[in-house]
Amino acid sequence: MESEHEEAMRSDFRERTALQLSGYQAGVTEEQIDQIYGTVGQIDDRWKAGPHAAQWQFLTDAYADWNDRPNTMARFIDNIEHNLAQGWDGGLDEVQRRSLHQARELTEPQRPRRRGQIQRER
């Protein structure tokens, strides 16, 4: 995948994600939801029908996995980075690795925040 195609894919995926999330905002009408999901579908269709469909699907799946299983994905990416440092690629190409990182970044704001342990003075 050429760098300009990857940049376009990442930009379109960010836009797709923001659009999809905007459908959950309070006050969004049914008509607006239809427009949002129509645009999301157009973006998906454009990438699914193109030469980089497999990379788009990988990014889409990574995003879903980060949403559904963030702890598992965090361990997975740690293992990938560890193995890469040891000289093993783990079967992923650079675009896929960056997709894992982008998916993590995009799902981060949606994850519940953990409260830190409360420190009490004695």
Rounded to 5 degrees, φ, ψ at 6 are -65, -45
| Residue 109: predicted pLDDT | 75
pLDDT tens for each residue of 58-96: 999 999 999 999 999 999 999 999 999 998 877 899 999
Q: How many CB atoms neighbour CB 100 within 10 A? A: 21
pLDDT tens for each residue of 10-28: 999 999 999 999 998 999 9
